[in-house]
A and B are shown apart, each in its own frame.
Chain A
Amino acid sequence: MKGMSIIVQKICQIVAPVIFLFGIYIVIHGHLTPGGGFAGGVIMAGAFIFQIISYGSDLPKLQKKEFSLEILESSGILGFLIIACLGLLFSTVGIFFANFLPTGKIGELVSAGYIPLANIVVAAEVSAAISLIFLAMIVFKEEISDDR
């Protein structure tokens, strides 16, 4: 895929980090303000997708065999399961997905037990998954056209 004009590229260069930062904010404050792991993950993936659309697929030196995004995605869902199992081990009630951390004061940044941790791992999973689907559509299509 070819990149777009230099106007689009420069605007993307300025805006994409802000979008990414906004995604991180949405994830970290998921238990306080609207949003959460899924919304923040999609926003972070959106920053990545804008970069690739504006600069073309040559930009990140895309590897054709293995994406490190695959590892991020798999470890995201694994982390979610591990958090669930930690509730099984360390909580007082001892059930799957039980809260094993102190809930703290409602409205503070460090509060709500395991929910911020779960937000972060789900955001890693969602952002990696959506960027991976987008990359697969571009890179594998180019592989096919290289063969011809």
Chain B
Amino acid sequence: MEIYLIIILALMILGAVFSLHAKDLLSAVISYGIVGFGLVIAFLLLQAPDLALVLIVVEIITLIIMLAVIKNTTHEEEKKSFSLSSVIYVCVALLFTLFFFVIFARFGSGLARFGEDTMRMATAYIDAVHLTGSANLVTGVVFGFRAYDTLGEATVLFTAVVGVLAILRIKGKKEED
């Protein structure tokens, strides 16, 4: 199973790199779709159908909206001019990468290995099915133990919609004046 994951991850990296360097924006968007759908298959292989279900719908809708944007605007990328500030940005990014690398190399050795199940809360959630009564563990955690978090997520979505409507509604504002 691990070999499939490695193949899918390699394909995703290739798609991401190609979408950065593609000349036509349409092919860039389509090759970016490889990243999203590869992630869906990776989630399915890792036995997380909840995430895969959400992700495949979101990927399809995002792809449609991006294609609509490209159809209505242009296929060609804007020409970028080389400037001094871009060099400074790259230098600062490299500096931060080095900084975090040093920190994690020094203090990260005390942490558990990646993927090792040493988290106390995870086992507690699995044992506590009878508390929520939900056969789906993920929903039990999302709406039971972490309901505050879900309330926050729903509020973020609500605020986003209010913001979109307030910014895009140009004519309504004019009529009220």
How many residues in A have their beta carbons less than 8 Å from beta carbons of B?
55
What residues of chain B lie closer than 8 Å to A37, measured between beta carbons? Answer: 143
Interface bits A121-145 vs B (CB < 8 Å: 1, else 0): 0100110011011101100100110
B residues less than 8 Å from A119 (CB atoms): 139, 143
Q: Which residues of A contact B154 (CB under 8 A)?
A: 76-77, 80, 122, 125-126
Question: Residues of A contacting B65 with CB < 8 Å?
Answer: 134
Q: Say yes or no: B161 contacts A129, CB within 8 Å.
A: yes
The answer to whether A115 touches B57 (Cβ under 8 A) is: no
| A30 CB contacts on chain B under 8 angstroms | 136, 139
Give how many B residues have a beta carbon under 8 Å from the other chain's beta carbons.
Answer: 43
A92 to chain B, nearest CB (A): 13
B88 within 8 A of A: no
Seen from chain B, the residues whose Cβ lies within 8 Å of a Cβ on chain A are 49-50, 53-54, 57-58, 60-61, 64-65, 68, 129-136, 138-140, 142-144, 147-148, 150-151, 153-155, 157-158, 160-161, 164-165, 168-172
Q: How far is the CB of A50 from chain B (nearest CB, A)?
A: 9
Contact of B53 among A35, A76, A81, A147 (CB under 8 A): A35
Find B168's partner among A42, A43, A46, A140 (CB 8 Å cutoff).
A140
A34 and B49 contacting across the interface, CB-CB below 8 Å: yes
Q: Given the known A-B contacts A46-B61, A136-B165, are A144 and B136 also in contact in the complex, defined by CB atoms under 8 Å?
A: no
> Given A26-B53, A49-B64, A115-B144, are A36 and B136 neighbors across the interface (CB < 8 Å)?
yes
Decide yes or no: A97 and B57 within 8 Å by CB, A77-B158, A133-B161 being known contacts.
no
Report chain B residues within 8 Å CB of A103: 130-133
Dominant secondary structure of chain B at its interface with chain A? helix
**Which chain A residue shows the least CB distance to B132?**
A112
Please judge, given known A-B contacts A34-B138, A115-B140, whether A104 and B133 are in contact too, CB under 8 Å. yes
Q: A118-B143, A132-B161 are in contact. Are A31 and B135 (CB under 8 A)?
A: yes
With a cutoff of 8 Å between Cβ atoms, the chain B residues found around residue A113 in the complex are 132-133
In whole Å, how far is A51's beta carbon from the nearest beta carbon of chain B?
13
When the two chains form their complex, are residues B53 and A34 in contact, meaning their CB atoms are under 8 A apart? yes
A39 interface residue, CB < 8 Å from B? yes
Residues of A within 8 A of B169 (CB): 136, 140
Partner of B130 from the list A33, A74, A106, A129 (CB cut-off 8 Å) is A106
